[in-house]
Amino acid sequence: MENANLADPYTCTVRIMAPKGKSKVLCKIILPLTKWIDPSFQILQVSEGSHINTEKLTCNDENSDDEILQTPALSIMMFLSESGAVTYEELKAVLKKRPWKLHHKMELKSKISPDRTIGCQEFYGLADDMPLWSVCPIHCGNEHLRFLLHVRKFKEMVEFYRIITNAEMESSKPGFCIFPMYTQPGLDCQLALKYSKHIDPVPIENVILVFKVQSLKSIKASVPCVITKLDDITYNVCDPDGNKIQLKTDPVTQKPTSPGLSTMSAVKNILEGL
């Protein structure tokens, strides 16, 4: 069955809570990374919270195979082409500058020859209770905005998000899956779950994943967790790993105010207007 949510770019969004009085500062820091796709902060929203952890980022410079890496559960990943108005190299250069700090690196192994390293993903951050960010190159196909959750309870998390997203997962290897959230020519938005015995993911208090849902009744019947009502259309819940998420219902189907999100073919005009 086709998922109608694939036509709505705001089916899955992320709300990042900054310390009081610091939301504009945080927006200024992350805008160079997000303006290619979300210059008005509708997908990656920034608000202010009253009790925000401002501890510095704990970095992991080197991690051997037998060590456990503790990391914020959520990472925001951007897969960009190496040519165009905004490129992988340009955004990678942003993460190399202060105040961004390298948190850890992950080697990518070949499916055919598991001992062969074919690439490396670098994850950067600002503080321990903020999501990590990563920019990765792609050589063909659509560019991606991916919300990656490192998980502890993989099977339970897959079933939970299958129900929440009303989407079928796509999986290319054990311990990893993708839920497509939105697609348009040249761009995909994705939610991904990844399990690794070498990673200890920590839920982030300052970040909430927000999902538009079509039927709260079916979710209540299928999800074994407490759902707390905030108002007529907003509900709070935690996933099996303890990550905070928010569900939003709307009796009226909302259409995006624009034909879609920015892509590389349109981003030049956006950047010139900033």
Domain ranges across the chain: 4-264
- Angle made by CA atoms 16, 48, 72, in degrees to the nearest 5: 30
Q: Return the DSSP state at 110.
A: P
pLDDT at 64 over 70: no
Cis omega (within 30 of 0) for bond into 224: no
Where residue 57 falls among pLDDT bands split at 50, 70, 90? low
Rounded distance between C-alpha atoms, residue 18 and residue 25, angstroms: 9
Task: List, for residues 205-234, the tens digit of each pLDDT value.
Answer: 999 999 999 888 889 999 888 999 999 999
Among 140-144, 168-172, 263-267, which stretch is predicted with the lowest mean pLDDT? 263-267
Rounded distance between C-alpha atoms, residue 204 and residue 94, angstroms: 23
Burial class from Cβ neighbours inside 10 Å (0-12, 13-18, 19+) for residue 36 reads buried
| Contact partners, residue 10, CB within 8 Å, separation at least 6 | 42, 43, 212, 256
Where residue 194 falls among pLDDT bands split at 50, 70, 90? very high
The model carries a pTM of 0.85
Instruction: Tell the CATH topology of 4-264.
Output: 2,3-Dihydroxybiphenyl 1,2-Dioxygenase; domain 1 (3.10.180)
| Closest listed residue to residue 124, CA positions, set 148, 145, 98, 147 | 98
What number is the average pLDDT over the span 197-211?
95
pLDDT at 22 over 60: yes
244-249 vs 234-238, strand pairing mode: antiparallel
Which pLDDT score, from 0 to 100, does residue 1 have? 41
Per the model's pLDDT, the better-predicted residue between 84 and 178 turns out to be 178
pLDDT at 270 over 50: no
